[in-house]
Structure 1
Amino acid sequence: MTSIDDLPIRDDLRGLSPYGAPQKHVKIALNVNENTHPIPEAVARSIVEALAASILTVNRYPDREFTELRDSLARYLGHGLTRDNVWAANGSNEVLQQILQAFGGPGRSVLAFPPTYSMHSILAASTGTRWIAGERDEEFGISPETAVRWITDTAPDIVFFCSPNNPTGTPLSLETIRAAYDATDGVVVVDEAYAEFAPDGEPTALTLLDGRPRLIVSRTMSKAFAFAGARVGYMASDPAVADAMRLVRLPYHLSTLTQAAAIAALAHTREMLAMVDDIKAQRDRLLVELPKLGYIVHESWANFVLFGGVADPNAVFEALLEHDIIVRDLAIPNHLRVTAGTEAETSAFLQALGEITALGDIGSFGPLGRIDS
């Protein structure tokens, strides 16, 4: 049987692994940071009606400039943004890929700070952009001084930040973003996929866009809008950056149906975001309850919690699977990550983990250093 190694694939792609969290059919899936709340029925009906209307025109190509969608996204983001500041694609991954296609590529580099979203390095590899792995400060933070030091030492063409960071949930200060921007002549990208889960009133990188034409803020409808299956991501930037995206995007890359569904969802922003407060409450609950079981938690402004002190993450992962629950083992030593689900899902997870912790021995299950009598 022919394998990929038998094909004349690019040398820099040999030996790489594709992105992919385990896809297992379980009752409670808390492994990929989905919004586990269903879309409200009234909103779902509105989206279906929009799709029904748009299906009548699918014999024609979609609006190549997705003008109405960009208007809707600009209204949602606020901050004085207009359609000219907005770009969208099939998930924020495609937005990030287009950024790398336009500003990266062979002979260019991108600096990021692992542990961070794994697709960043995968997209760098797929576009032939050299990946530079910077180092974080304690508790997964990135100070302005740390960011500037790495930029000065490595002179990257692109700098990637993730705020809040995935998989740690760590917030990123605006001071760090400002300092990084001032330290480079390249593009600075702030991936704000989980921005809606930050504490109320906290400013985002959107507030820094004015006067910074090389700053890009990427967002997604997958998380807060419960639209993971629809694949809608977008970015805000200087209009010139959107012009650069037009040079690398595929023609008519956003389907008529995708545009219609997203526009309809954005028309119901209040209803769609009503579930965010509940998700934040469950995240905060995890931050309180996991330490009671003896685990170490890290500050999170996202819809998930990274917890440490796990003696054998794979064993705990497998034990949770036996309870029909899946979380994420990210190969961070002694850590696992869990998505904040519904109240019922969070309760089931905490109960199962409590049982596993109580029954397991320190060598294979439970928190490091925990001694059960």
Structure 2
Amino acid sequence: MTTTPSTERRTVLPIRPELAGEEPYGAPQLDVPVLLNVNENPYPPGDDVVATIADEVTRAARGLNRYPDRDFPALRQDLADFLELESGVRLTHEQIWAANGSNEIMLHVLQAFGGPGRTALSFAPTYSMYPEYARDTHTAWVAGRREADFTLDPQAAAAAVREVRPSVILLASPNNPTGTALPTATIEAVCEAALTVDVDGTGAPAVVVVDEAYAEFRRAGTPSALELLARYPHLAVTRTMSKAFALAGARVGYLAASRELVDALRVVRLPYHLSAVTQATARAALRHRESLLAQVDALRGERDALVAWLRARRHPDGRPFVVAESDANFVLFGTFGDRHAVWQGLLDRGVLIREVGPEGWLRVSVGTPAETQAFKDALTQVIEPDSEEA
């Protein structure tokens, strides 16, 4: 007796409807000589930093049979001390929170203050993960618009807050993907408007989050929202150790805010969410903050030189490149009728940048001088095929 092979059964899973067909977030990860697409620090930690991290991780490893300290006050105090040295703003460890990258910090914020029947507001173009945090927490998402030069008009932003009445407002400064920093007056206007929201009729203001992932790369004189924390208990400022501290692989982000706001995040965090190894790595790196941050000035200079170089370029039709002002470690430039062709042309020459942001624009991270020169050479060859050098 013969049997007929069964037809292959298609797997059907009860995925949430709003997730059906969605692709996981992420920039392309390709093996090319020059990687300038995800705003990493191009300089690895020095041997002294690596040695300290190795020693501290070894010490932590001896206790890996035990759960880590779930509230990690020592790391939080180290982060508070760093922020005071950098900004002059004195904070206690109870005003600091940390997680696996600023991504998890943002998710904690939306878990605590978003949710069904609530709305998150931001202003596009901005970080493409923000609407995903909202989606994943069943929070409605509204994106206002920035000005043509990617700045944010304070009156227009305040008016949007009063109209939308969100429970969470997300402001990136410097903004990703544009590099635009926000003046203090703009953040103040949003914080004041947030006081009028009255979330769910409770009298509570909207929570304002200023995402300062690239804060260490700000140009001289560009303020930090940390200076406003004492005035606005509903304000939070997020930072990361991925960029300036060259710890993208360690996944450490943190937040500064009022004790009450931090305590709300502690309610929604998973138990023991920050591993003992991560805590040890972060604390070891903070002991070497001077050497780790020593490259920041060089990267700022490289960025400013790159902006100037790009502004001197012209399209084949004679139009000058348009380059956004940047206080970050990347530069947004354009505009191209077919930006994908330019991106592909660079990739074909071994240089990977990011196809992100408004249509027609491309974003390049600041690399080492050699990496930046490779980008310049490749872009010149793409734009001017007959040219052999930048």
Same fold? TM cut 0.5: yes
Distance 1:253 1:141, change over 3 A: same
Find the counterpart in structure 2 of residue 241 from structure 1.
Answer: 261
1:41 to 2:43 alignment: no
1:101 aligns with 2:111: yes
Counterpart position of 1:280: 300
Partner of 2:189: 179
In 1, Cα distance between equivalents of 2:366 and 2:277: 30
Partner of 1:54: 60
The 1:321–1:65 alpha-carbon spacing in structure 2 relative to 1, beyond 3 Å, is same
- Residue 327 of structure 1, aligned match among 338, 353, 370: 353
**Corresponding residue number in structure 2 for 1:133:** 143
Q: Residue 137 of structure 1 contacts residue 146 of structure 1 at CA under 8 Å; is this kept in 2?
A: no
- Does the aligned pair in 2 maintain the 1:330–1:336 contact within 8 Å? yes
Provide the rounded CA distance (Å) in 1 between the counterparts of 2:378 and 2:182: 33
Distance of 2:359 and 2:148 partners within structure 1: 15
Aligned position for 1:302: 328
Match of 2:16 in 1: 10
Structure 1 position 211, deviation (Å): 2.8
Q: Secondary structure at the match of 1:359?
A: coil
CA distance in 2, matches of 1:3, 1:112: 39
Amino acid of the residue matched to residue 220 of structure 2?
Answer: D
Deviation for aligned residue 1:331: 5.5
- State whether structure 2 residue 371 is matched by structure 1 residue 351: no
Deviation track 1:32-74 (CA, whole Å, cap 9, x = no partner) reads: 1011111111111111111111110111110111111001100
Moved more, 256-265 or 304-313: 304-313
Partner of residue 128 from structure 2, selected from 105, 118, 126: 118
In structure 2, the residue corresponding to 1:230 is in which secondary structure?
coil
Moved more, 87-96 or 15-24: 15-24
* Alpha carbons 1:197, 1:301 under 8 Å: kept: yes
Under a length normalisation based on structure 2, what TM-score does the superposition of the two structures give? 0.90
Secondary structure of 2:370's aligned partner: helix
Name the Cα RMSD after superposition: 1.5
Q: Which residue of 2 aligns with 1:23?
A: 29
> How far off its partner does 1:305 sit?
0.2
Extract unaligned runs of 5+ from structure 1. 361-373
CA contact (8 A) 1:136 1:146 kept: no
Q: 2 CA distance for matches of 1:27 and 1:3?
A: 40
Aligned mates of 1:58, 1:211 — CA distance in 2: 41
| Match runs of 1:198-209 below 5 Å | 198-209=218-229
Give the C-alpha shift of residue 25 in structure 1: 0.8
Question: In the superposition, relative to structure 1, how do residues 3 and 181 fare at CA in structure 2: closer, same or farther (>3 Å)?
Answer: farther
* Paired position in structure 1 for 2:365: 339
Counterpart AA for 2:293: L
Contact 2:115 2:137 in 1 (8 A): yes
Give the 4+ runs in structure 1 shifted more than 4 A. 1-4
- 1:293·1:357 contact (CA, 8 Å) conserved in 2? no
**Structure 1: distance between partners of 2:181 and 2:159:** 19
Structure label with greater radius of gyration: 2
The superposition leaves residues 304-342 of structure 1 with CA deviations (integer Å, 9 ceiling, x where unpaired) of 000012232111111111111100001522210000001
User: In the alignment, is the contact (CA less than 8 A) between 1:46 and 1:264 conserved in 2?
Assistant: yes
- By how many angstroms is 1:2 displaced? 7.4
The number of equivalent residue pairs is 360
